């Protein structure tokens, strides 16, 4: 039977969908009908089959048949976090020398100098991960001179912090021991 109204098909649909919102009683009736329909559908559907792998059989050339046990799903990898901090150690003179050489190269940028040349000077003293981060540093904002001797700070057998005084304030340079030797892993300005 066609829909014949002067307001058109949209008015009929609006009236049907708007019925639950006309009164609280209509809303409760609509919710009961929806919950009842979902329950009936859930009861009528069969239970899903359990997901179980059957053993696989392989035949040996001699005629023996072996069954391989089904493999268990792999659990996600776990991260082991050390419970104790590494023991403190004496600062390595080589690590301090790398921090000093890095700071000398870091402050070596002059106006008109190519930034890639500046980065290439830092590369031998910097970890591969940190050199990519250093590519985003504007060398014009770097200090222009080291003003004193580097002072080693807290250290472990694989890492140390070295304080390097510069004309724009001290730098805290973190040096890590890598398979290639000591390399600068990060730096911060004090203050």
Same domain, 98 and 182: yes
Whether 151 is covered by a domain: the verdict is yes
Taking only the tens of pLDDT, the chain with its 191 residues reads: 566 666 777 777 777 778 787 888 988 999 999 999 999 998 898 887 777 665 555 555 655 555 555 566 677 777 777 778 889 999 999 999 999 999 999 999 988 899 999 999 999 999 999 999 999 999 988 999 999 999 999 999 999 999 999 999 999 999 999 999 999 999 999 87
Q: Does any domain span residue 79?
A: no
User: Which DSSP category does 86 fall into?
Assistant: P
**Which pLDDT value is given to residue 18?**
82
- Give the position of tokens 């098909």: 9
- pLDDT at residue 119, rounded to an integer: 94
Residue 82: predicted pLDDT: 76
Q: Is residue 87 part of a domain?
A: no
> Which pLDDT score is estimated for 122?
95
Q: Are residues 20 and 101 in the same domain?
A: no
Give residue 10's pLDDT: 77
Indicate whether 110 and 29 sit together in one domain: no
pLDDT attached to residue 23: 87
* Predicted local distance difference test score (pLDDT) of residue 15: 77
Instruction: Assign 3-state DSSP to the chain and report helix, strand, coil percentages, each to 5.
Output: 35, 20, 45
Per DSSP, the residues of 118-136 read HHHHHGGGB-HHHHHHHTT
Q: pTM of the entire structure?
A: 0.57
**Is residue 82 included in any domain, yes or no?**
no
DSSP state of 166: B
The answer to whether residues 98 and 125 touch, using CB atoms and an 8 Å cutoff, is yes
Domain CATH for 181? 3.10.450.540
Is residue 78 assigned to a domain? no
Q: How many domains are contained in the chain?
A: 2
Q: Is residue 183 part of a domain?
A: yes
Task: State which residues form the domain around 161.
Answer: 93-189
């Amino acid at each position: 039977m066609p829909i014949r109204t002067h307001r058109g098909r949209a008015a009929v649909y609006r009236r049907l969908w708007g019925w639950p919102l006309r009164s609280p009683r209509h809303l409760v009736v609509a919710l009961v009908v929806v919950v009842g329909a979902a329950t009936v559908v859930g009861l009528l559907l069969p239970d899903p089959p359990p997901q179980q792998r059957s053993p696989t059989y392989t035949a040996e050339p001699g005629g023996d048949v072996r069954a391989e046990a089904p493999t268990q799903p792999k659990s996600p990898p776990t991260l082991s976090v050390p419970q104790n901090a590494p023991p403190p150690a004496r600062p390595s003179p080589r690590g301090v020398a790398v921090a000093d050489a890095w700071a000398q190269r870091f402050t070596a940028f002059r106006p008109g100098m190519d930034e890639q040349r500046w980065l290439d000077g830092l590369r031998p003293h910097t970890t591969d991960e940190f050199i990519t981060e250093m590519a985003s540093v504007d060398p014009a904002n770097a200090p222009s001179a080291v003003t004193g001797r580097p002072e080693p700070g807290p250290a472990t057998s694989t890492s140390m912090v070295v304080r390097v005084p510069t004309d724009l304030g001290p730098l805290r340079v973190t040096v890590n021991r890598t398979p290639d030797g000591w390399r600068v892993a990060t730096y911060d300005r004090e203050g």
